[in-house]
Structure 1
Amino acid sequence: MAKSFFGTDGIRGTVNTESLNSEIALKLGLAAGKIFTRGDHKHRVLIGKDTRISGYMLESALESGFTSSGMDVFLTGPIPTPAVAYLTQALRADLGVMITASHNTYEDNGFKLFGPDGLKLTDEKQLEINELMNRSDIMSLQDKNQIGAARRVDDALSRYIEFAKATFPNTMRLDHLKIVIDCANGAAYKVAPMIFWELGADIIVIGDQPNGRNINQDCGSTKTQSLKEEVKSNNADLGIAFDGDGDRLVIIDEKGDEVNGDHLLGMIALSLKNKNLLKNKNIVSTIMATKSLENYLKSIDLKLIRTKVGDRYVIEKMLDIGSNFGGEPSGHLIINDFSSTGDAIVSSLQVLSLMIEENRPISNLTNLFPLTPQKNYEFKTENINNISNSFLEELSNKMNEKIGDEGRVIIRKSGTEPLIRVMVETDTKNIGEKLIDEIKLSLNHST
């Protein structure tokens, strides 16, 4: 049976296990290199990475696969995922690869792939690569006369810094704003502080001492307690937490409270609408966006379009319907006038520009609508493959019938971890708790 290497966001797994190792990296380079060396031009691939210690090992194996396929390899070193998307376009590369496991801890790693347009590869293109990776003769498909070279892109960071700064209004500066930045000991640890400092902010930086093993460790967008404390103790105007690869952000307001992702989406949507900068009335998010956001957008004459979970699906839908703004409540925000993928630094600059325009604190700007309470539960299992999608769909339908008009239930497999994610959205606390307990029981019986 052919192995499926790809999940919802590229390839991801625990390093030096059957889910992710040097052999898989080599095969990925060989297979993707074979597919992206079509045509007569000189072919090139750009490879970036975050700060995980396993990045060295995987980068070397990946480089070997691509050069064996005849592609020239451009290496950037540690750099955010959106920088890879941008530089893939800017350097006219055929492919971009980011070595990262995003918000996961250092034991995991993976690969995100971008086409020459800076967009993440489609399911169809990933399937094509997957099929080649499964071929027993993958090592013999290469042309002995076509071998590529590798080189470092010494100005990769400075190129991205200038790109990001250019998305901030050139009539504005960040003077008089005190900002705490949490770089998650990850890919943004060099570029983020430089960008905010060059724009004039008074910055306090945490999570900027990566050692290969501390990425996302008690820091970053999934662990914001230290950032909240720093914001309060320094009387800062704002806190910004990035995840390990710099495509996702969490905002902490001046009170030390986390800004809800749906409120961020609503705030930016309203701002773009008021400036007549929306291409149409459609705002794209995922099934995880709340009913509250949907109702708020409707109240300002906008429409929420939902997709599967994953910023890749949000972007695909945006392109399909001609929308220029969307994102996930988890913090992937996409303004495709600027970026072809989620970019936490660019998104945070848009939030800051709005604060300056309105001359109001972030807590005041985001308090747009009351949120329907959500209960989230993660069911961890080593037997994730034994739980079928059809079973989860049937269970989800059953729970939604029970909750009726009082809310909604989403039950899905994580695309990046061995988890079943459950979300119950309802104003009625007892109903939410009862349904969670019932879902737990059903999932336990299924394994």
Structure 2
Amino acid sequence: MGRLFGTDGVRGRANADLTPELAMAVAVAAAHTLAESDRSHPPLAVVGRDTRASGEMLESAVVAGLASAGANVLRVGVLPTPAVAYLVGEVKADLGVMLSASHNPMPDNGIKLFAAGGHKLPDDVELQIEAAIEANAAATWHRPTGAGVGRVHDLLDGADHYVQHLVSTVPHRLDGLKVVVDCAHGAASEVAPVAYQEAGAEVIAIHAEPDGLNINDDCGSNHLDVLRAAVVEHGAHLGIAHDGDADRCVAVTADGNEVDGDQILAILALGMREAGTLTRDTLVATVMSNLGLRLAMAEAGIRLIETKVGDRYVLEELRASGLALGGEQSGHIVLSEYATTGDGVLTGLQLMSRMAATGRSLADLAAVVAKLPQVLINVPVGDRTIGAGAPAVLAATAEAEAELGETGRVLLRPSGTEPLVRVMVEAATLEFAETVAERIADEVRRASPASA
């Protein structure tokens, strides 16, 4: 089978790679792996999804698998991934399942699993689930009958509970702020505008009419052009963009310039240190974060811990070290006092609250990070391991690192969710970064050509 789980759950083209049969198998294995067998009551699972049409099909398969394993199911419908994680903790469920491929295009879908408390699964637990599926353990597991079969109920007010939770975290009201929010025709479409309005902001929502087919379609956190234009047109103080399952937040300033996850992290870190809530004056980021963030935090006296790419690794470090703030350049921001996973709407609220508290513009706040020119090339490949590890690729990378010296860096890594190798180069100038990145990308393409 190969490794089923990537850096953010199981992903693939819905009904081709990620079939209802596989979804059911994952659900059954997760129920047996995560639910305690000696409880006096059946295990409880929370199941949510984003707006993809395929989510309806996969939801049915997952619910059937969980119920067949004896788990009771609370269906929460279309909600952000962090809302599902929150509700797992809120209702004291044994596990949660979110059906989403996040920022990926509509034909893809995915399965994200949460353990009790709403925490993402560590690698070893995912491997246990994968091994059980591969061994067809379901064929020998006890299958309850009669009253032992799990029951299925709909939780109709899950969104209300989640929004109330989000608004309760805001230290400064957002009155007087005008924001344009790009909901990516995804799970943020209902929740984000309501949360921002209830916190006091004037909200203009765009891309908030999901039809099952338009999620992430030239909109959301990966496509900012329409948001930039809307912010300028409406004279808004800022724009906020979410991805399909609303676990990301990136922003644009009043004049349309992007503010990415690194800059948001810096803004929040400085505010939290001022408030005395940045535990041990320490921030967690990944190896993809711009060198500018490292320099800004060092100048401010804030320690920066690096992890592998993936918000799950940021989360693991936050939990292990008891820290309060971490995230990724892509806009996955984790505020561990309020959430167990990256939460785009929570991040948007905290970012605007910082603007309101200081009276400063987003552009002014974000200027604390002087970003080094950075080029990221996503190279389609036939085999991610070969593409990233071929001798010619490694040699080209070593040569580039020698050229850059202390004025930049190279990061080469296979994607955890797509057939891509990511080539990232930082350098003193954009032109030099582009030249170096293209040179390495060419070697990756030669080492493992993409499938036709």
Q: Tell me the percent identity.
A: 38
Aligned to 1:21: 19
Q: Deviation of residue 375 (structure 1)?
A: 1.1
TM-score, L = length of structure 2: 0.94
Contact 2:95 2:114 in 1 (8 A): yes
Residues 1:44 and 1:438: Cα distance change in structure 2 (over 3 Å): same
Contact 2:249 2:261 in 1 (8 A): no
Q: In structure 1, how many angstroms separate the alpha carbons of the residues matched to 2:216 and 2:429? A: 34
Worse-superposed segment, 149-158 or 432-441: 432-441
2:2 counterpart of 1:3: yes
Q: Deviation of residue 22 (structure 1)?
A: 0.7
Aligned to 1:168: 170
List per-residue Cα deviations over 1:298-349 (Å, max 9, x = no partner). 1111111111110110010112222211110111111111111111111111
SS in 1 for 2:377: strand
Contact 1:315 1:326 in 2 (8 A): yes
Contact 1:180 1:239 in 2 (8 A): yes
Contact 1:280 1:322 in 2 (8 A): no
Worse-superposed segment, 255-264 or 428-437: 428-437
Aligned to 1:442: 443
SS in 1 for 2:51: coil
AA in 1 matched with 2:156: D
SS in 2 for 1:334: strand
Contact 2:384 2:415 in 1 (8 A): no
Q: In structure 2, how many angstroms separate the alpha carbons of the residues matched to 1:6 and 1:369? A: 34
Q: In structure 2, how many angstroms separate the alpha carbons of the residues matched to 1:137 and 1:173? A: 52
Contact 2:238 2:251 in 1 (8 A): yes
Q: Deviation of residue 140 (structure 1)?
A: 4.0
AA in 2 matched with 1:125: V
AA in 2 matched with 1:346: L
Aligned to 2:357: 357
Contact 1:79 1:157 in 2 (8 A): yes
AA in 1 matched with 2:3: S
2:401 counterpart of 1:403: no
Aligned to 1:272: 272
Superposed, 1:49-60 pairs within 5 Å as: 49-60=49-60
AA in 2 matched with 1:8: T
Contact 2:387 2:445 in 1 (8 A): no
2:420 counterpart of 1:419: yes
Aligned to 2:347: 347
Aligned to 1:229: 229
Aligned to 1:147: 149
Residues 1:430 and 1:179: Cα distance change in structure 2 (over 3 Å): closer
SS in 2 for 1:159: helix
AA in 2 matched with 1:425: E
Contact 1:393 1:411 in 2 (8 A): no
Q: In structure 2, how many angstroms separate the alpha carbons of the residues matched to 1:295 and 1:11? A: 35
2:312 counterpart of 1:298: no
Q: Deviation of residue 261 (structure 1)?
A: 2.6
Q: Deviation of residue 275 (structure 1)?
A: 1.5
AA in 2 matched with 1:268: L
SS in 2 for 1:270: helix
SS in 2 for 1:205: strand
Q: Deviation of residue 292 (structure 1)?
A: 1.5
SS in 2 for 1:280: helix
Worse-superposed segment, 320-329 or 74-83: 320-329
Q: Deviation of residue 180 (structure 1)?
A: 0.8
User: Size of the alignment, in residue pairs?
Assistant: 443
Q: In structure 2, how many angstroms separate the alpha carbons of the residues matched to 1:396 and 1:255? A: 37
Aligned to 1:12: 11
Contact 1:175 1:200 in 2 (8 A): yes
Q: In structure 2, how many angstroms separate the alpha carbons of the residues matched to 1:331 and 1:37? A: 32
Q: Deviation of residue 390 (structure 1)?
A: 6.9
Q: Deviation of residue 437 (structure 1)?
A: 3.0
Q: In structure 1, how many angstroms separate the alpha carbons of the residues matched to 2:411 and 2:333? A: 21
Worse-superposed segment, 98-107 or 273-282: 273-282
2:378 counterpart of 1:378: yes
Runs of 4+ in 1 over 6 A off after TM superposition: none
Q: In structure 2, how many angstroms separate the alpha carbons of the residues matched to 1:394 and 1:318? A: 35
AA in 2 matched with 1:23: E
Q: Deviation of residue 262 (structure 1)?
A: 1.9
Aligned to 2:28: 30
Aligned to 1:112: 112
Residues 1:15 and 1:202: Cα distance change in structure 2 (over 3 Å): same
Residues 1:430 and 1:220: Cα distance change in structure 2 (over 3 Å): closer
Contact 2:177 2:356 in 1 (8 A): no
SS in 2 for 1:117: coil
List per-residue Cα deviations over 1:203-241 (Å, max 9, x = no partner). 111111100000001111111111111110110111111
Aligned to 1:103: 103
Q: In structure 2, how many angstroms separate the alpha carbons of the residues matched to 1:444 and 1:224? A: 28
Q: Deviation of residue 429 (structure 1)?
A: 4.2
Can you give the 5+ residue segments of structure 2 that lack an aligned partner in the other structure? none
Q: Deviation of residue 371 (structure 1)?
A: 1.3
Contact 2:182 2:241 in 1 (8 A): yes
AA in 2 matched with 1:416: T
Q: In structure 1, how many angstroms separate the alpha carbons of the residues matched to 2:82 and 2:118? A: 9
SS in 2 for 1:189: helix
Contact 2:373 2:433 in 1 (8 A): no
Aligned to 1:321: 321
AA in 2 matched with 1:441: D
Can you give the 5+ residue segments of structure 1 that lack an aligned partner in the other structure? none
Contact 2:261 2:333 in 1 (8 A): no
List per-residue Cα deviations over 1:363-390 (Å, max 9, x = no partner). 1111113211101111112343543647
AA in 1 matched with 2:12: G
AA in 2 matched with 1:35: T
Contact 2:375 2:430 in 1 (8 A): no
